Amino acid sequence: MFEEIARRGLVLLGCGKMGSAMLEGWLTQGLEPGAVWVIDPKPSDWVTGTGVHVNEALPESPAVVLIAVKPQMMGDALPDIDRYGNGSTLYVSIAAGTTLGFFEDLLGEASPIVRAMPNTPAAVGRGITAIVGNPRVAPAQMDMAEGLLDAIGQVVRLEDEGQMDAVTAVSGSGPAYVFHLIETMAAAGVAEGLPEELAMRLATATVAGAGALAETSGEDPGQLRVNVTSPGGTTAAALEVLMEEEAGFPGLLKRAVKAAAERSRELAG
């Protein structure tokens, strides 16, 4: 994957938490620091100490430009890299809510562009990123994009860009749902008499451990739920409340994900 990048270079536009996580992953996997150019108005000490080019003159025709700035900063940032448009440089964007069409209008319809939607656990290498490319992206370029994003977790390919709103609602916004679950589980534990610190520790470790088990056990989450639920026991009592069709998790999460997907469509439109 890195051969083409080593020869032509990679430009990382924006190096905040997500950009730094990717950069660390690439360097750990063997990418030479001299093959990376970082554009960032306030680079961290860690970034400047890696040996990459920071805010220096850019390569003539990089293999990849990875756009890792927030959507509201896009207008100021894109002039730095739009000169590569309609060429062989692959653009990869992790900017939320920014469509392929948006970039095609600014960079040229002949530009190969991949839109990616990571989530915040990517900052610790445990994210999942969905990607989709425009028709100009060659198979080898899609493989390159997947390989680069693999540095921050799992990568899945979408059939079409229309699925991105649902991805945003499930995995993009999803960590916030889980964090809120931890908050509310801890608060419920406090209401039942636990000290706050202990309740939060129990809730956090339980969610983290259950997620790891769901990911590694090979069993369906529904079966894992059955495995821990004794008939007439404490878990069954709780699930009677949580699994109510409208008031419980099924109806609540369906409405929440729908609201997030609709908002994603509004922002992209």
pLDDT at 123: 86
pLDDT at 94: 93
pTM: 0.91
Residue 25 is assigned to a ligand binding site: no
Q: Are residues 243 and 188 in the same domain?
A: yes
Tens of pLDDT, residue by residue over 139-196, are: 999 999 999 999 999 999 999 999 999 999 999 999 999 999 999 999 999 999 999 9
Residue 36 is assigned to a ligand binding site: no
Residue 13 is assigned to a ligand binding site: yes
Residue 1 is assigned to a ligand binding site: no
Q: Are 242 and 249 in contact, with CB atoms under 8 Å apart? A: yes
> Among residues 56, 51, 95, 150, which one has the least CA distance to residue 268?
95
Q: Are residues 127 and 102 in the same domain?
A: yes
Q: Are residues 98 and 188 in the same domain?
A: no
- Write down the mean pLDDT value for the chain: 94
Q: Are residues 105 and 18 in the same domain?
A: yes
211 inside domain: yes
Tens of pLDDT, residue by residue over 53-71, are: 999 999 999 999 999 988 7
pLDDT at 80: 79
Q: Considering all CA atoms of the chain, what is the largest pairwise distance in Å, rounded to the nearest integer?
A: 69
Contacts of 123 (CB under 8 A, 6+ apart): 17, 18, 21, 152
Contacts of 114 (CB under 8 A, 6+ apart): 90, 91, 92, 93, 131, 132, 133, 134, 137, 141, 142, 145
Task: Output 26-31 pairs: Cβ under 8 A, ≥24 positions apart.
Answer: 26/2, 26/148, 26/151, 28/151, 29/2, 29/151, 30/2, 31/2, 31/5, 31/6
Q: In terms of DSSP bridges, do strands 113-117 and 127-133 run parallel, antiparallel, or are they unpaired?
A: antiparallel
91 inside domain: yes
Residue 92 is assigned to a ligand binding site: no
Q: Are 86 and 38 in contact, with CB atoms under 8 Å apart? A: no
Q: Are residues 154 and 217 in the same domain?
A: no
15 inside domain: yes
Q: Are residues 186 and 111 in the same domain?
A: no
Q: Are residues 80 and 36 in the same domain?
A: yes
Residue 55 is assigned to a ligand binding site: yes
Q: Which of 135, 161, 187 represents a domain boundary (last residue)?
A: 161
166 inside domain: no
Residue 68 is assigned to a ligand binding site: yes
The answer, yes or no, to whether residue 1 has pLDDT greater than 80, is no
Q: Which of 131, 161, 191 represents a domain boundary (last residue)?
A: 161
Q: Which of 161, 187, 212 represents a domain boundary (last residue)?
A: 161
Residue 254 is assigned to a ligand binding site: no
| Band of residue 266 on the pLDDT scale cut at 50, 70, 90 | confident
pLDDT at 95: 86
pLDDT at 252: 95
Q: Are residues 183 and 149 in the same domain?
A: no
| Band of residue 52 on the pLDDT scale cut at 50, 70, 90 | very high
Q: Are residues 211 and 233 in the same domain?
A: yes
Range of the domain at 98: 2-161
CATH of the domain at 207: 1.10.3730.10
Q: Are residues 42 and 111 in the same domain?
A: yes
12 inside domain: yes
Number of independent structural domains in the chain: 2
The answer, yes or no, to whether residue 46 has pLDDT greater than 90, is yes
154 inside domain: yes
CATH of the domain at 7: 3.40.50.720
167 inside domain: no
pLDDT at 176: 97
60 inside domain: yes
Q: Are residues 55 and 132 in the same domain?
A: yes
Residue 16 is assigned to a ligand binding site: yes
Residue 15 is assigned to a ligand binding site: yes
Q: Are residues 38 and 132 in the same domain?
A: yes
